[in-house]
């Protein structure tokens, strides 16, 4: 069972793109009870059409890592480092042979980024420092799909996933050497999706097991291991029909498992299990959903004992098939207090979330523009919201790298068409690698867009969509090292 459903759960939880394209989604400054809040949305277009982002992690100095992989003829691990406003600081591509896929990443004890790369016949564990340098890269002849990797109390790492139809767990030390690895069979298929350390006791995992020929054979799995990988306890839970545990976390002494189940309508639903320290079921909650939709669980984080954040994808087929990122905030009784649904162009997902000290939330995932900009494919996606999930609207701006030819001078061209309704294009050229400051203002001098980013020498084109802007005159301005120019354009609706 897990082959089919685990694949469905993870297939579109992928986002990351950078290399010449970055889409800026307004930066807003607001105020809440935690202090100043920053809200933004960005997509990052990498060197290939298909880029999948999976994990967003904290980095030193209020910065973040966004990890996943690029898909072309081969797949390559790809990591971005972002500042607190979503600007790209650096990007790193790891070429590791065929099918180099990354589904999870974690921090090292010194603030680096560690991730497992799945290849067709082997695997690789890689550590990057905060500057993007490879500190170590440790290979293994074991090929396994790693759905989650976590930093543990000894400074090493625990990873879980599956090898074909059996569960898989591996323990690594702080320098990436494999300490032990094990397969775990059971039923006709078994997979581990998520793991946490119970300090002083061992590891607790969730996933799924297929107990066929038993009726309603798919169960959410709860497995407790000691520190050497021996099974202490294993239990199965069913929210309804087929159930799959996707993420495990803890609140106080209790465990929380989030996942998917199929109800009588055969639609995918989101469930939450609350389990006590003796691994006894306390509560089962299937979250409400709309008819003719499928929901797929992605991530789960506990902010405090009365505030849980859930990320999932919602598939709709009316009027056309689309996938939307969905976020819910739950209280300790698993009641929904806030929620947000992306008005996706074609596909969007938040597969990872981290809470910040000031109450903000940072999400990482994948975005695809569907029928709007089909040629773009899938991009890395990151967003920052306040504590109540307030976000700016979807972006009116895309920034594309147009050419590999090096211009002679800095130039910004007149937009075309002009006047326009509602879309126009603005081309600019820079002769050297430089920080680019690009802004658009309305006639009253109010800034409607700002982009400040380090760019390679070349030609670029900004596509401005004025759908959400009023008719009138606008000014766009380009500033680089020693160059500044402003031009006018007119939006007529």
CATH number for position 460 = 2.60.40.2550
Domain with residue 252: its CATH number is 2.120.10.30
The answer to whether the CB of 259 falls within 8 A of the CB of 247 is yes
Query: Quick one: pLDDT band at residue 433, thresholds 50, 70, 90?
Result: confident
- Which segment, 46-50, 73-77, 245-249, 387-391, is predicted with the most confidence on average? 245-249
Return the structure tokens found at 414: 């007149």
The answer to whether the CB of 440 falls within 8 A of the CB of 476 is yes
- Whether 341 and 248 map to the same domain: the answer is yes
- Whether 378 and 475 map to the same domain: the answer is no
In eight-state DSSP terms, residue 420 is B
- Does the structure show a pLDDT above 60 at 376? no
- Which segment, 131-135, 223-227, 341-345, is predicted with the most confidence on average? 223-227
Average of per-residue pLDDT across 142-154: 95
For 201, phi then psi, to 5°, come to -120, -40
User: What is the longest distance spanned by two Cα atoms in the chain?
Assistant: 73
Q: Which domain holds residue 461?
A: 400-491
- Whether 405 and 390 map to the same domain: the answer is no
- Whether 373 and 441 map to the same domain: the answer is no
Residue 359 burial (CB < 10 Å; 0-12/13-18/19+)?
A: middle
- Whether 383 and 416 map to the same domain: the answer is no
Which residues, at least 6 apart from 56, have a Cβ–Cβ distance to it below 8 Å?
A: 64, 65, 66, 67, 352, 353, 354, 362, 363, 364, 382
- Whether 74 and 204 map to the same domain: the answer is yes
Average of per-residue pLDDT across 65-92: 89
Q: What is the pLDDT of residues 181-209, one digit of tens each?
A: 999 998 889 999 999 999 999 999 999 99
Task: Tell me which of 363, 395, 427 is where a domain ends.
Answer: 395
Average per-residue pLDDT for the chain: 84
Altogether, the residues listed in the chain come to a count of 493
**DSSP string across 343-401:** --SSEEEEEEEEE-TTS-EEEEEEEE-TTSSGGG-EEEEEEEE-TT---PPSPSEEEEE
Task: Tell me which of 377, 395, 413 is where a domain ends.
Answer: 395
How far apart (Å, rounded) are the C-alpha atoms in residues 193 and 202? 17
- Whether 277 and 420 map to the same domain: the answer is no
How far apart (Å, rounded) are the C-alpha atoms in residues 164 and 141? 15
Instruction: Enumerate the β-bridge partners of residue 203.
Output: 197, 225
Instruction: Enumerate the β-bridge partners of residue 286.
Output: 271
Return the structure tokens found at 291: 């008819």
- Percentage with pLDDT > 90 across the chain: 53
- Whether 319 and 436 map to the same domain: the answer is no
SS3 75: strand
The answer to whether the CB of 67 falls within 8 A of the CB of 74 is no
Q: What is the pLDDT of residues 244-292, one digit of tens each?
A: 999 999 999 999 999 998 865 557 899 999 999 999 999 999 998 887 7
- What local confidence, expressed as pLDDT, does residue 464 receive? 79
With tokens 């603005």, the residue in question is 426
The answer to whether the CB of 23 falls within 8 A of the CB of 399 is yes
- What local confidence, expressed as pLDDT, does residue 15 receive? 32
How far apart (Å, rounded) are the C-alpha atoms in residues 472 and 453? 28
Q: What is the pLDDT of residues 214-233, one digit of tens each?
A: 666 789 999 999 999 999 99
What pTM value is reported for the model?
0.75
- Whether 355 and 440 map to the same domain: the answer is no
Query: Quick one: pLDDT band at residue 322, thresholds 50, 70, 90?
Result: confident
Q: What is the pLDDT of residues 266-279, one digit of tens each?
A: 578 999 999 999 99
- Whether 40 and 114 map to the same domain: the answer is yes
Total domains present in the chain: 2
- Whether 427 and 361 map to the same domain: the answer is no
- Whether 376 and 407 map to the same domain: the answer is no
Q: What is the pLDDT of residues 82-118, one digit of tens each?
A: 999 888 888 888 876 567 899 999 999 999 999 999 8
Pick the range with the lowest mean pLDDT from 18-32, 133-147, 378-392.
18-32
Task: Tell me which of 372, 395, 418 is where a domain ends.
Answer: 395
**DSSP string across 105-121:** EEE-TTS-EEEEEE-SS
């Amino acid at each position: 069972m897990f082959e089919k459903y685990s694949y469905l759960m993870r297939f579109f939880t992928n986002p990351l793109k950078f290399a010449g394209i970055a889409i800026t989604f307004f930066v807003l400054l607001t105020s809440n009870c935690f202090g100043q809040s920053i809200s933004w949305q960005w997509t990052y277009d990498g060197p290939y059409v298909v880029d999948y982002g999976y994990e967003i992690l904290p980095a030193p100095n209020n910065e973040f890592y966004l990890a996943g992989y690029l898909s072309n003829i081969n797949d390559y691990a790809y990591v971005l480092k972002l500042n607190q406003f979503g600007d790209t600081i650096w990007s790193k591509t790891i070429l590791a042979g065929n099918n180099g896929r990354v589904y999870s990443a974690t921090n090292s004890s010194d603030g680096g980024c560690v991730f497992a790369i799945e290849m067709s016949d082997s695997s690789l564990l890689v550590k990057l420092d905060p500057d993007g340098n490879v500190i170590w890269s440790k290979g293994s002849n074991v090929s396994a799909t790693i759905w989650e990797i976590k930093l543990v109390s000894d400074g090493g790492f625990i990873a879980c996933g599956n090898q074909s139809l059996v569960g898989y767990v591996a323990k690594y030390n702080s320098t990436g050497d494999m300490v032990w690895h094990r397969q775990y069979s059971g039923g006709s298929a078994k997979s581990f999706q998520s793991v946490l350390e119970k300090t002083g006791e061992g590891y607790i995992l969730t996933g799924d097991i297929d107990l066929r020929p038993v009726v309603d054979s798919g169960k959410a799995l709860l497995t407790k291991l000691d520190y050497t990988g021996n099974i202490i306890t294993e239990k199965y839970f069913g929210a309804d029909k087929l159930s799959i545990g996707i993420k495990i976390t803890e609140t106080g002494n209790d465990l929380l498992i989030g996942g998917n189940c199929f109800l009588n309508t055969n639609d995918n639903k989101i469930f939450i299990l609350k389990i006590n320290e003796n691994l006894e079921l306390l509560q089962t909650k299937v979250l409400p959903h709309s008819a003719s939709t499928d929901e797929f669980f992605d991530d789960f984080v506990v902010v405090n004992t009365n505030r849980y954040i859930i990320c999932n994808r919602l598939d709709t087929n009316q009027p056309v098939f689309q996938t939307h990122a969905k976020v819910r905030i739950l209280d300790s009784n698993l009641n929904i207090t806030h929620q947000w649904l992306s008005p996706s162009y074609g596909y969007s997902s938040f597969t990872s979330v981290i809470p910040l000290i000031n109450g903000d939330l940072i999400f990482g995932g994948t975005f695809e523009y569907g029928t709007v900009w089909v040629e773009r494919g899938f991009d890395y996606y990151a967003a920052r919201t306040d504590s109540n999930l307030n976000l700016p609207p979807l972006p009116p701006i895309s920034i594309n790298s147009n050419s590999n030819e090096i211009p002679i001078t800095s130039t910004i061209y007149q937009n075309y068409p002009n006047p326009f309704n509602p879309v126009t294009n603005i081309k600019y050229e820079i002769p050297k690698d430089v920080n680019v400051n690009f802004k658009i203002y309305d006639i009253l001098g109010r800034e409607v867009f700002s982009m400040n980013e380090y760019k390679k020498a070349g030609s670029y084109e900004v596509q401005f969509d004025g759908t959400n802007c009023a008719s009138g005159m606008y000014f766009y301005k380009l500033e680089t090292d020693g160059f500044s120019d402003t031009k006018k354009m007119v939006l007529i609706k």
